[in-house]
Amino acid sequence: MADHWNRVLLLGSLILPVCSIAVNGNISQNCSDFQTSSWRNILQRLDLNVQFMLLTRRNPDCARPINVNNDFQSSNFNGSLPTKLILHGYRMTGSKPSWVDTLAKELISAMDVNVVIVDWIIGSTAVYHSAVQNSALLGFKISTLIANFIAHGSTKDSFHLIGISLGAHVAGIVGHIFKGKLGRITGLDPAGPKFSKASVNERLDPSDAIFVEAIHSDSDCFGISEPVGHIDFYLNGGKDQPGCTRPILSSGLLERGGLSADEQPKEVKAYLMTSSDLPFCVKHFLVEIFLKQLGLHDQRVEITFLSNNHSNISNLQLTIPNKQSSERTVRKVIPYVRFGNMDAITIELLSSWRRKRHTIHIAELRVRELPLNDRERPPCCINNIVTDEKIFFGQFGNCL
């Protein structure tokens, strides 16, 4: 028996130093977590105190602190990968948003990406009006970080900003700074108070990124009812969701925010694209048409996308604006089975008894698979399309 306990003690003496090393190793990794805010912070009117935390597949459980002046090459940041930024919104009590860790881990599990969590708890706590005022400065700080990422190998279209509530409009500010060249913005229940009557320059809108989507789930309380993206999803009408209780402060906040009790969201319908065969899933592609010369009146066209054996796979009807319009880019989403199978298009000018066909001049027609962050599938293009015929045929090539 004595020998048995001697062996146990010996084993314990070997294990304890290893455990100590492991614990100290965790500490030495300098893992970050959200800051905490209090009324003392608010009364002292501290700086915005933004904190950026990086998660990757190399450190999925230990967020590493980064800042705009970091040498990113010494961190786990990889400029060749897509980058997701998570932005929380207004925090009444200064508590950590519980959903952020789960979302970050799901993103890392789904694909090899950089995930940056934006912690602005100090500037988003207690007084909503002050949080709104802080959003512009926060947008500038985030844009500075993104500019440094770009200097270390990232491309503008590889960024995906995911913002909830007030964070959705902060994402819009960042997108506006980059003139709409960032890849994607997802607005999760974008905030309504202070933004419902705001101009498009003051809130999230479709011009803030190449692709902007929004999910409305509380538009009769804290969320905005107006559409703010290229596509807006109104879950269960965009109002109260099954199983969710109405916040106690909802009526008072509605009164202070500029939302009226009888305000209704605009009707926006979202359609899910499917194929006719099992498993019915299709990929989605962004079609971008960059116009060069416009005619005297709008021109309806139908674009047919063809496979390499010239079979008809997908069709798109759209309107080319007239020369009075300030728009020079048309963006639409189409379903398609396989990207590599797309070979050519035909463009048919659709005339009517009221309007004759006229020449259209397209500088470039570009097709990219969504989401816009897979470098293994580069975009394909047809350049310098000039036609006044009923049918134009052109084959895809590399983009210039």
DSSP 109: H
Dig out the tokens for 268 from the structure.
């926006």
- What are the DSSP calls for 126-161, one per residue? S-HHHHHHHHHHHHHHHHHHHHHHHHTT--GGGEEE
What pLDDT does 54 receive? Answer: 94
CA distance 253 to 165: 14
Q: Is 27 helix (H, G, I), strand (E, B) or coil?
A: helix
What pLDDT does 149 receive? Answer: 93
| CB-CB neighbours of 302 under 10 Å | 14
Instruction: Give the β-pairing of 159-164 and 83-87.
Output: parallel
CA distance 121 to 138: 11
314 touches 320 (CB < 8 A) = no
Dig out the tokens for 60 from the structure.
């999925």
Instruction: Give the β-pairing of 283-293 and 360-369.
Output: antiparallel
DSSP H or E run through 257: helix 250-257
What pLDDT does 15 receive? Answer: 33
If one looks up domain 283-398 in CATH, what number appears? Answer: 2.60.60.20
Q: Is 4 helix (H, G, I), strand (E, B) or coil?
A: helix
Report the largest interatomic distance among the alpha carbons of the chain, rounded to a whole angstrom. Answer: 105
Instruction: Give the β-pairing of 211-216 and 231-234.
Output: parallel
185 touches 161 (CB < 8 A) = yes
What pLDDT does 30 receive? Answer: 76
Q: Is 25 helix (H, G, I), strand (E, B) or coil?
A: helix
CA distance 100 to 249: 24
Domains in the chain: boundaries: 26-257, 283-398
100 touches 162 (CB < 8 A) = no
Residue in 382, 217, 218, 358 with CA at minimum distance from that of residue 300:
358
Dig out the tokens for 125 from the structure.
């706590």
Dig out the tokens for 73 from the structure.
């090459």
Which superfamily does 26-257 belong to?
Alpha/Beta hydrolase fold, catalytic domain (3.40.50.1820)
| CB-CB neighbours of 264 under 10 Å | 12
Q: Is 58 helix (H, G, I), strand (E, B) or coil?
A: coil
What pLDDT does 6 receive? Answer: 45
Question: Tell me, what amino acid is at 109?
Answer: S
The tens-digit pLDDT sequence of the chain (400 residues) is: 445 444 433 333 333 333 333 333 333 457 888 887 665 655 555 567 899 999 999 999 998 888 776 666 667 899 999 999 999 998 877 778 888 999 999 999 999 999 999 999 888 887 888 889 899 999 999 999 999 999 988 999 999 999 999 999 999 999 999 999 999 999 999 998 888 888 888 899 999 999 999 988 887 778 888 889 888 887 766 776 655 665 544 332 322 226 233 333 334 445 445 565 666 667 788 899 999 878 778 888 899 988 887 777 788 888 888 878 888 888 888 877 655 578 899 988 887 656 666 778 899 999 988 777 666 678 899 999 888 777 788 889 888 7
Number of residues assigned to the chain: 400
**What residues contact residue 167 under an 8 Å CB cut-off, 6+ apart?**
87, 88, 89, 118
DSSP 277: S
Dig out the tokens for 99 from the structure.
């959903």
pTM > 0.85: yes or no:
no
